[in-house]
Amino acid sequence: MDFLSNVERASALGGGFLAVVAAMMILTLVLRRVHVVARMRLRVAILFQLSGVAGILLSAALLSADFDPASFIFGIVRDVSDVLLAVSIVTILGVILFDFVLEPLRMRPPPILTDLILAAAYVAGTILVLGHIGRDLSSVLTTSAIATAAIGFSLQDTLKSVMGGMSMQMDRTVRAGDWIRVDSHEGRVTEIRWRQTSIETRDGNTVVIPNSHMASTPVTIVGKHGNAQRKTRHWIHFEIDHGVPTGQVIETVEGALRESPVPGMAPEPEPDCILVDVRNASQTFAARFWLRDLEDDVGPDSVARFRISAALQRIGVGFSFPTQSLLLHPKDESHLERSQAQEHRTKLDALSRVPVFAPLTAEEREALAKKLVYTPFSAGETVTRQGGSAHWLYMIVRGTAVVRVANESGGAERRVALLGPGDFFGEMALLTGAPRSATVVALSEVVTYKLDKDSFLETIQARPSMAEEISRLLAQRRVELDAVREDLNEEGKRQRLTTAQRDLLSRIREFFRLH
Ligand code: CMP
């Protein structure tokens, strides 16, 4: 028998040996050229091909030399060569399927699943080839089952990691490119392997986390929420002394961060500032903004801190020191006196801004200031409720409040007026004894000084000329309310205003016996 027919006898491919091997080699070389990434795998395939072909040629040579085909040596050389060729064919088919068909269709399975499919294909190819050349596979299968059980038992920990990695890749919870936080480590996933996941931190370090740990510990996928664009919220905490108006700090910080956005910050949702704690004579605030660029959180953080600090300094507010103040009474009277004097000045200032109190002399103002009570409201709080009973009159020093009224049938409330610094409200019910005519709600932080009913009435009685100004204001407000309730037009309002003012003035004078 000639050498060529011995080659065909030795190979599982039989008569197709030469054609298949030649086609396989050409295909491998072409694929290596066009697919750079698959080169490594194809290099191994070439190695297998060459070894397989060499083995088959050796087997054919042995046959030509009348070597016993039933001998153990011949059997081993031939079996191994055939299996190597089969593995090489599977590798090439795998590259074609995964890299040239599924990859462009974006259907390529995760790496671990690809490995599993290939491993199954290698086993199937081996069994097919050995079966084809008449080998008894039952002993091979039994031995491999026992070996698998033994390996599984001794490599429990490793298998746990492998299973962790597999499940992570199969359900695609974590993918390469995601930002994740595991324990104290945060970084971008660079690769997920069978046993471990590697992340690259912002400081340029690579942290290798065993998949078994990833499977048993909470993993935060930073900035991932649904299909929305990736962004994560960043918090900056700072402390301000207790006496500084909360709303003013919030307004200033929000303004500083919104007016000129910090690089790396997402424009939506807008940055905001909230009060998170009040203790030890200071208020703790948090400025919050959304980071778009997870790569760099320290840069935007630094810019934002600088902005906040500068904006607060511009309004004369500094960060509070972590101190504990010890107020010693009664020995340190001067401290108490100083703060009382300061507050008194603020009250006088507030009074001077209200036009109705303009006619008061300095002494009268001094006396009235002593009766004012500092009363702040946070945004959204109701100061007076329509229909409620009246005990106080309020003077606004800071912020804006809205006056709303519901019509007689109790329908939806309508806005009647906006009040700001220098305005006062709550006088109607105090002067007439009627329930509150409207609801007043703070729109921002509102700082007011309130005056109780008796002090207010005393002040008017002492200075009757105030009644004029008050009746004018009262008439105006009454007409606005009537207009909302009764749908009055401009002409109707004008007519009613003249009569209302005259009527109210005489009623106030009569009520307080101001003649
Ligand atoms: P009072 O009725 O005591 O309580 C609600 C207050 O809202 C009322 O006093 C007024 O001070 C104020 N108010 C009512 N109507 C107006 C208005 N049109 N413009 C401004 N303030 C008003």
Helix/strand/coil for 263 = coil
pLDDT for residue 316 is more than 60: yes
Sign (positive or negative) of CA dihedral 442, 445, 451, 456: negative
Per-residue confidence (pLDDT) for residue 254, from 0 to 100: 94
Reported as a single tens digit per residue, the pLDDT across 160-204 is 667 776 777 667 788 888 899 999 999 999 988 878 899 999 888
Determine the Cα–Cα distance for residues 272 and 266; give it in Å rounded to an integer: 12
Closest ligand 1 atom, CA of 437?
2
Residue 218 corresponds to which amino acid?
A: P
Is pTM, for the whole model, over 0.75? no
* Nearest C-alpha neighbor of 98 from the set 87, 109, 90: 109
* 181 dihedral zone (left: phi>0; alpha: psi -120 to 50; beta): beta
Closest ligand 1 atom, CA of 434?
2
pLDDT for residue 127 is more than 90: no
Per-residue confidence (pLDDT) for residue 275, from 0 to 100: 95
- What values do phi and psi take at 286, rounded to 5? -130, 125
- What values do phi and psi take at 16, rounded to 5? -85, 5
Instruction: Please choose from 383, 402, 413, 440 the residue to mutate so as to test ligand 1's pocket, defined by most ligand atoms within 8 A of CB.
Output: 440
Q: Residue 211: CB partners within 8 Å, gap ≥ 6?
A: 161, 162, 163, 164, 165, 168, 192, 194, 195, 196, 197
Shortest-distance Cα residue to atom 22 of ligand 1: 477
Alpha-helical runs (H) found in 96-228: 111-132, 138-154, 156-170, 211-216
C-alpha 177 – ligand 1 centre gap (Å): 60
Tell me 450's DSSP state.
E
Instruction: Please choose from 354, 396, 432, 437 the residue to mutate so as to test ligand 1's pocket, defined by most ligand atoms within 8 A of CB.
Output: 437
Shortest-distance Cα residue to atom 5 of ligand 1: 438
Distances (CA, A) of 340 to 333, 348, 395: 11, 12, 19
C-alpha 489 – ligand 1 centre gap (Å): 20
Any residues with Cβ below 6 Å from ligand 1, and which?
384, 390, 403, 416-417, 425-429, 436-438, 440, 477, 480-481
Sign (positive or negative) of CA dihedral 225, 229, 230, 231: negative
Chain centroid to Cα 259, Å, comes to: 21
Shortest-distance Cα residue to atom 21 of ligand 1: 477
- Give strand pairing partners of 400: none
Shortest-distance Cα residue to atom 17 of ligand 1: 477
If you write DSSP's letter for every residue of 411-429 in order, what string do you get? --EEEEEEE-TT-EE-HHH
The answer to whether 347 and 372 have CB atoms below 8 angstroms apart is: yes
Instruction: Please choose from 403, 415, 441, 486 the residue to mutate so as to test ligand 1's pocket, defined by most ligand atoms within 8 A of CB.
Output: 403
Residue 21 corresponds to which amino acid?
A: V
C-alpha 396 – ligand 1 centre gap (Å): 13
The answer to whether 90 and 52 have CB atoms below 8 angstroms apart is: no
Determine the Cα–Cα distance for residues 158 and 326; give it in Å rounded to an integer: 60
Reported as a single tens digit per residue, the pLDDT across 349-399 is 888 888 778 878 888 889 999 999 988 888 888 899 999 988 899 999 889
If you write DSSP's letter for every residue of 143-177 in order, what string do you get? HHHHHHHHHHHHTHHHHHHHHHHHHHHHTTSS-TT
The least confident of 64-68, 157-161, 276-280, 287-291 is 157-161
The answer to whether 83 and 127 have CB atoms below 8 angstroms apart is: no
H-run or E-run covering 233: strand 232-241
Closest ligand 1 atom, CA of 417?
19
Shortest-distance Cα residue to atom 12 of ligand 1: 425
pLDDT for residue 252 is more than 90: yes
Tokens of 473: 């204001």
Closest ligand 1 atom, CA of 430?
3
Instruction: Please choose from 425, 439, 479 the residue to mutate so as to test ligand 1's pocket, defined by most ligand atoms within 8 A of CB.
Output: 425
Chain centroid to Cα 157, Å, comes to: 35
Shortest-distance Cα residue to atom 6 of ligand 1: 426
* Nearest C-alpha neighbor of 287 from the set 313, 264, 309: 309
Shortest-distance Cα residue to atom 9 of ligand 1: 426
